């Protein structure tokens, strides 16, 4: 079974289910039924077949909307592997263009698909160079009916379904080769874990070029046969209430996104907009793609309980592109599970229980049980030795959803996708994430590449950032990065966005940040750097790029509003 087979079946049943695109809360959404998608995909495939042979790759460069969905399946109908990419726009245009150029050069596409408007804009501005041998195609200009003579290509479950480039939070983006058999296994795992059916309605704002947006809201809807309402991420960020209004208006059953989306709604949806909502239909509110903060999800649940939101609908989960998407998730209907752990024990790779009100206790969200038919093992990363419950190590994952490797990176693929335990057995995917197992549930503690060793202690950057951001509302959560400046454990840096501009206020904030971090973690921040809002380095999907932030810090390229050089833990906190 392949995605081509699934769409043909959905189109044949004649149902009106499919995709809807919501631009605001007043205009009726644009619609694309599975039958219409099948017809338009045939048209695109017929034209694309003239530009690229079966087995080729096609870059998909689209603004948010249904034309992306048409292009994605048009490529599949031509036997061509789509490569979704982030359209360069916004304040960080330089980084977006650099990322796009890297992906195009690495993917070596035979075609670049886009809209007529974007193609004209690129021809005028010359932002994206056409690679040798590649051709551009505007899919919204394809003549209706041009695919009347289309014949399905011979697509097997071992063929490439698409190439998903990673977010690039710790390195340059790499192309993950997702085959149909990997994808089918993962879509079934998601369907089973979230109890999805043809009667489900999904609502999503996560970008379509992101694995959560593509697999979670577009491909899963097709696989399980339900309708999915999509919206532009920019519209959600501009007015977070639109997300909740769409769930309320169309009876959304499953929806979710990164942790910051729930936080944004809690902070920015006012009482009047909230009181007009009805969220009683929302049964699966999943949170993933970045660190899950239980306090954020609890605040959201409290804020919207009066309009029908059930806290038990919360569904913390974990996934990554290398696993197609989904690795583990909460038990349906159980809400957010957490464990209180001793921070000092955690620094020594042990997850020892602690009382919630104990000094140094840290709350970690459960990412639930591993997907059916798959396996997670916690491993000592340097020796490959499996670790027991409550021991922190690298998360290794195995099962039919694991993809076949990185595009054109054989050595790295062998290392990441072919890991074998010290005692032998099947190959595992090394996720690069650290965590532990307790009572069968997976808990994540951080990224292995981000872990900082400060004077012999393991310090997680998220702990430093959260301690700092809890000091004052002017220090927005998720908009700061901590790192070691040069690998020297005596130089811990925190870079944090703030809207404050007064020098005296900034000096007070910096001192308060250093005190808060020292009091919570007993580690000193040597350099507190405040930067302007929306200037911290992030990926196109909103993940912190700590390594890029560190490079900007060392190069003097940060948009600094206040530098404070200090002596960190060499000064007692009272003197900070």
* Whole-number Å distance between alpha carbons of 483 and 547: 8
Residue 171 pLDDT grade (very low, low, confident, very high; cuts 50, 70, 90): low
Spatial separation of the C-alpha atoms in residues 434 and 445, rounded to whole Å: 6
- Model confidence at 169, pLDDT cuts 50, 70, 90, reads low
pLDDT tier, 489 (very low <50, low <70, confident <90, very high otherwise): low
DSSP label at 538? B
Task: Quote the pLDDT of residue 576.
Answer: 34
- In Å, how far from its chain's centre is CA 501? 32
Please give the pLDDT value at position 570.
29
Residue 575: predicted pLDDT = 35
What's the confidence (pLDDT) of residue 368? 96
Residue % of the chain over a pLDDT of 90: 71
14 touches 35 (CB < 8 A) = yes
Reply yes or no on whether the pLDDT at 415 is more than 90: yes
396 C-beta neighbours (distance < 10 Å), count: 22
Distance CA 313, CA 319 (A): 19
Residues 6+ apart with CB under 8 A from 258: 206, 287, 288, 289, 290, 541, 542
Which tens digit of pLDDT belongs to each residue from 307-316?
Answer: 999 999 999 9
The pTM (predicted TM-score) of the whole model is: 0.86
Q: Which of the following CATH numbers is that of domain 321-447: 2.30.38.10, 3.30.465.10, 2.40.10.120, 3.60.20.10?
A: 2.30.38.10
Q: How far apart are CA 398 and CA 377, in angstroms?
A: 9
Higher pLDDT: 394 or 97? It is: 394
Q: Can you read off the two tokens belonging to residue 550?
A: 């560190």
Give the model's pLDDT for residue 539. Answer: 74
CB 481 within 8 A of CB 447: no
In whole angstroms, what is the distance from residue 17 CA to residue 199 CA? 10
Write down the architecture of domain 11-17+32-195 according to CATH.
3-Layer(aba) Sandwich (3.40)
Of the listed ranges 304-313, 382-391, 452-461, 566-575, the least confidently predicted one is: 566-575
Q: Find the mean pLDDT for residues 200-226.
A: 96
In tens, the pLDDT along 523-556 reads 888 889 999 998 888 876 677 888 888 888 888 8
Using alpha carbons, list the distances in angstroms from residue 396 to 170, 171, 444, 447, 462: 18, 20, 12, 13, 22
Vertex 512: Cα angle to 511 and 518 (nearest 5): 90
Task: Tell me the average pLDDT across 83-99.
Answer: 77
Using pLDDT thresholds of 50, 70 and 90, give the confidence band for residue 94: confident
CA–CA separation, 31 and 56 (whole Å): 30
Report, as an integer, the average pLDDT of 103-113.
95
Where helices occur in 474-534 by DSSP H, the ranges are: 503-521
pLDDT-derived band at 488, boundaries 50, 70, 90: low
pLDDT value, residue 541: 62
Q: For residue 86, what pLDDT band results from cuts at 50, 70 and 90?
A: confident
Residue 83 — pLDDT band, cuts 50, 70, 90? very high
Q: How confident is the model at residue 168 (pLDDT cuts 50, 70, 90)?
A: low
How confident is the model over 422-434, as pLDDT tens digits?
998 999 999 999 9
The residues pairing with 179 across neighbouring beta strands, listed in sequence order, are 160
User: Residue 321 has what pLDDT?
Assistant: 94
573 burial (CB, 10 Å; 0-12 / 13-18 / 19+) is middle
Architecture of the domain spanning 452-575: 2-Layer Sandwich (3.30)
Contact 337, 365 (CB under 8 A): yes
pLDDT tens readout for residues 216-264: 999 999 999 999 999 999 999 999 999 999 999 999 999 999 998 999 9
In this predicted structure, the answer to whether residue 90 has a pLDDT above a threshold of 80 is no
Check whether 457 has a pLDDT greater than 50: yes
Q: Give the separation between CA 376 and CA 369, rounded to whole angstroms.
A: 9
pLDDT of residue 571: 28
Q: Residue 396: its pLDDT value, please?
A: 98
CB 33 within 8 A of CB 17: yes
- Count other C-beta atoms under 10 Å from residue 63's C-beta: 15
Confidence class for position 566, pLDDT limits 50, 70, 90: very low
- Give residue limits of the domains in the chain: 11-17+32-195, 321-447, 452-575
Report pLDDT for 92: 61
Distance CA 567, CA 540 (A): 35
Mean pLDDT of the chain: 91
Q: Between 12 and 457, whose confidence is greater?
A: 12
């Amino acid at each position: 079974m392949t995605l081509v087979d699934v769409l043909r079946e959905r189109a044949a049943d004649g149902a009106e289910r499919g995709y809807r695109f919501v631009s605001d809360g007043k205009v009726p959404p644009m619609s694309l039924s599975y039958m219409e998608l099948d017809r338009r995909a045939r048209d695109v495939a017929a034209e694309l077949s003239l530009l690229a042979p079966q087995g080729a790759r096609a870059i998909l460069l689209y603004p948010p909307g249904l034309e992306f969905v048409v292009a994605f399946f048009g490529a599949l109908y031509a036997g061509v592997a789509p490569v979704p990419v982030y359209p360069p726009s916004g304040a960080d245009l330089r980084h977006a263009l650099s990322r796009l150029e890297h992906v195009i050069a690495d993917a070596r596409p035979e075609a670049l698909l886009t809209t007529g408007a974007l193609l004209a804009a690129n021809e005028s501005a010359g932002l994206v160079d056409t690679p040798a041998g590649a051709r551009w195609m505007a899919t919204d200009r394809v003549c209706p009916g041009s695919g009347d003579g289309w014949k399905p290509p011979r697509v097997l479950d071992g063929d490439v379904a698409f190439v998903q480039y990673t977010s690039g939070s710790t390195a340059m983006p790499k192309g993950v080769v997702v085959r149909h058999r990997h994808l089918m296994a993962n879509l079934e795992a998601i369907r089973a874990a979230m109890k999805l059916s043809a009667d489900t309605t999904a609502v999503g704002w996560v970008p379509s070029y992101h694995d959560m947006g593509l697999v979670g809201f577009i491909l899963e809807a097709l696989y399980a046969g339900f309708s999915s309402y999509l919206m532009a991420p920019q519209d959600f960020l501009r007015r977070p209430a639109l997300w909740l209004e769409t769930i309320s208006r169309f009876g959304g059953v499953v929806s979710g996104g990164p942790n910051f989306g729930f936080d944004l709604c809690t902070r920015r949806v006012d009482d009047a907009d909230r009181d007009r909502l009805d969220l009683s239909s929302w049964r699966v509110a999943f949170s993933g793609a970045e660190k899950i903060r239980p306090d954020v999800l609890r605040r959201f649940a409290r804020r919207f309980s009066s309009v029908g939101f059930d806290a038990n609908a919360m569904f913390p989960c974990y996934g990554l592109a290398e696993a197609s998407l989904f690795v583990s998730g909460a038990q349906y209907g159980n809400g957010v599970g957490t464990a209180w752990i001793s921070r000092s024990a955690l620094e020594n790779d042990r997850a020892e229980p602690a009382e919630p009100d104990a000094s140094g206790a840290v709350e970690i969200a459960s990412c639930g049980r591993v997907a059916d038919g798959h396996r997670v093992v916690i491993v000592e990363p340097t020796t490959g030795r499996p670790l027991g419950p409550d021991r922190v190590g690298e998360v290794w994952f195995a099962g039919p959803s694991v993809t076949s490797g990185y595009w054109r990176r054989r050595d790295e693929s062998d290392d990441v996708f072919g890991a074998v335990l010290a005692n032998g057995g099947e190959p595992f995917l090394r996720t690069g994430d650290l965590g532990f197992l307790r009572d069968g549930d997976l808990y994540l503690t951080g990224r292995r590449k981000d872990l900082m060793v400060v004077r012999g202690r393991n310090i997680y950057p998220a702990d430093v950032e959260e301690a700092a951001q809890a000091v004052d509302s002017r220090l927005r959560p998720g908009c700061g990065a901590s790192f070691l400046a040069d690998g020297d454990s005596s130089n811990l840096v925190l870079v944090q966005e703030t809207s404050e501009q007064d020098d005296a206020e900034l000096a007070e904030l910096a001192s308060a940040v250093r005190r808060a971090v020292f009091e919570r973690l007993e580690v000193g921040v040597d350099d507190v750097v405040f930067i302007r809002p929306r200037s911290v380095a992030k990926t196109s999907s909103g993940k912190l790029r700590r390594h890029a932030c560190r490079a900007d810090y060392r190069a003097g390229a940060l948009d600094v509003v206040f530098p404070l050089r200090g002596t960190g833990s060499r000064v007692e906190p009272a003197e900070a």
